[in-house]
Amino acid sequence: MTPFTAELIGTMLLILLGNGVVANVLLTDTKGHNGGWIVITTAWALGVYVGVVVAAPYSGAHLNPAVTIGLAIAGKFAWNKVLSYIAAQMIGAFLGGFLVWLMYYDHFKRDNKPDVILAVFATGPAIRNYVSNIVSELVGSFVLVFTVFYIAGAQITPTKTPIGLGSVGALPVALLVWAIGLSLGGTTGYAINPARDLGPRIVHFLLPIKNKGASDWGYALVPIVGPIIGAALAAFLYLQIHV
């Protein structure tokens, strides 16, 4: 498997399981309806685990443009590979969002709440304040990327980023995302990943989903800008500590 394919498949699995649990909890007449925040954050963490286990041996399992950019800023990943990784992550996120729609097709047809339908695909703020929302995504992404440096440790090089290191090594990454979701996710839904939000948001925009409403493009920059700034700050701090 090539790194491109690994990032694509790993991100697709992450989004399928992550957005899938949101569909299961929020959509009408599902078995998991009203399962709550613990169910959502737990499944997202396990989705990260699955994606990392699959992709790590081949690509390092970034599964997130913010992680890729943060590693490149820190000199731990080659800049000439950044665009291909991000492209793979975006395609994977798009496919994952499409599969969630396919999986819950009958339930989407029964739901008449546009905000619920959008929430299956994309994040949104509990309180809409773009500055605060960006700060929330920035902080969550900073914690993610800064901690990833220490999970992977000295084994990160510009040509090798073994974030996952198999099923055992993937567990700390999953626990990290779980902690971020439980502690910091209540403000914006913790995208902490530009591909996680933008790919499925495009799916929402393109698909003929009954009662879907608008795709809220006015908010779409928040889960892109916040995570990238957070990742950059994490990389800069890591470099200052380890000069």
Residues 15-58: tens digit of each pLDDT: 999 999 999 999 999 999 999 999 999 999 999 999 999 999 89
Residues 94-140: tens digit of each pLDDT: 999 999 999 999 999 999 999 999 999 999 999 999 999 999 999 99
Burial of 225 (0-12, 13-18, 19+ CB in 10 A): middle
3-state secondary structure of 135: helix
Residues 204-234: tens digit of each pLDDT: 999 999 999 999 999 999 999 999 999 999 9
The per-residue pLDDT for 165 is: 47
How far apart (Å, rounded) are the C-alpha atoms in residues 85 and 61? Answer: 10
Indicate the domain borders of the chain.
3-241
Please report how many Cα atoms fall inside a 13 Å half-sphere around the Cα of residue 181, on the Cβ side: 23
What predicted TM-score, i.e. pTM, was given to this entire model? 0.94
CATH 3.40.630.10 fits 3-241, yes or no: no
Retrieve residue 173's tokens: 């990454």
Number of DSSP helices (H) and strands (E) in the chain, helices first: 10, 0
